[in-house]
Copies of this chain bind each other. A is one copy, B any other.
Amino acid sequence: MNSRNPTISDVAERAGVSVPTVSRVLTGAARVSPAKREQVEAAIAELNYRPSAAARVLVSRKSQTIAVIAGNTSRYGYAETIRGIEIAARAEGYTVMITVVESADEDEVDRAVSATLTQALAGVIVLKFDPPGVAALGRLSTDLPVVALSGTRETGLRQAVLDEASAAEELTDHLLGLGHETVHHVRIPPSRRVDGRTTGWRRALRRAKAPIPPLLDATWLPRSGVGIGHALAEDPSATAVFCGNDEIAMGVMRGLAEKGLRVPEDVSVAGFDDHPLAELWSPPLTTVEQDFAGLGRRGFQLLLEALDGTGVRLYSSERPRLVFRESTAAPKARS
């Protein structure tokens, strides 16, 4: 067993042609006579030859790899977005490389970004969902095409987003329309000071001239909602709660339940994202369906257009859709 992988010259020799001819059948860059093409293909199959991406990249200066930089890979929205990117990329023959940046710490971000840019890349997609994502985008000094996913809009930046502010506003409106005097908001860790979900919530309350209750901050852990639920149970003005995501909403509902409050009879609770478990929860959760995989797909599309030189689009936005289930209802008098 020869441990060295076969190279293009092995193929050329075996097929009785020159190296560039093999390259031509590989890339399809120029026409090759059917006879030689056949010999080459046979040699490739016999040797189980696979071209070296490294060598190709070195000379052609074109890479078929994109990097995805994300603050996390396992939380629902993140994982789905990455999945969407991967599927779209693979369909176009691109490979994807993942870089996780767990904190916004300057050194860590720099190290991660540097290591990533060392690779030969066609472009980069950054999940601008959180501070690490924002930090990574900021330190991405490169001439490569870059696409940011979500986050606040920036001029000149290629960006695919979900219009979370509008959806949050609509959801808050819905709660207000049910007759609640106001809506409390439990915020998930924001990517910056502003965050679409919180912005939309505030916008709706302002427009309705409803009182704006103090913001409640959760962490990414679903259980962080439990304590918040306990606190909310003590507050008679809290008849409707809009949570930054479904997992936190589930934590809040458990906290409420532990204090003897029922959803939606005593308190209405709404989430965000339409997590796969939201419909199975008791009661099924009113939420906002977010097409994260689609976001990833649109992001890759934007990158591809930048690569082609076609497409002058810099921005792709999609409006998430509300899903009304049983966790929200009109308020009843609370003691």
Contact = CB atoms under 8 A, between A and B. Distances in A.
B223 A280 contact: yes
Give the residue among A54, A76, A114 with the most B Cβ atoms within 10 A. A54
Interface in A53-90: 53-55, 57-58, 65, 72-74, 76, 79-80, 82-83, 86-87, 90
Contacts of A96: 97-98
Contact of A82 (B74, B119, B221, B276): B74
A98 B86 contact: yes
Nearest to A111: B90
Contact of A282 (B74, B221, B225, B254): B254
A112 interface: yes
A29 interface: no
A50 interface: yes
Contacts of A222: 276-277, 280
A82 B76 CA distance: 14
Interface string A268-290: 00000000110110100000000
A219 B79 CA distance: 19
Interface in A94-122: 95-100, 102, 112, 114-120
Given A3-B143, A280-B251, A118 B52 contact: yes
A48 interface: yes
A250 interface: yes
B90 A120 contact: no
A83 B58 contact: no
Contacts of A102: 87
Given A95-B97, A221-B276, A52 B48 contact: no
Contact of A83 (B97, B100, B115, B277): B100
A117 B5 CA distance: 11
Contacts of A115: 90, 93, 95
Contacts of A247: 276-277
A54 B50 contact: no
A5 B82 CA distance: 28
A83 B87 contact: no
A61 to B, nearest CB: 9
Interface of A: 3, 5, 48, 50-55, 57-58, 65, 72-74, 76, 79-80, 82-83, 86-87, 90, 93, 95-100, 102, 112, 114-120, 141, 143, 221-223, 225-226, 247, 250-251, 254, 257, 276-277, 279-280, 282
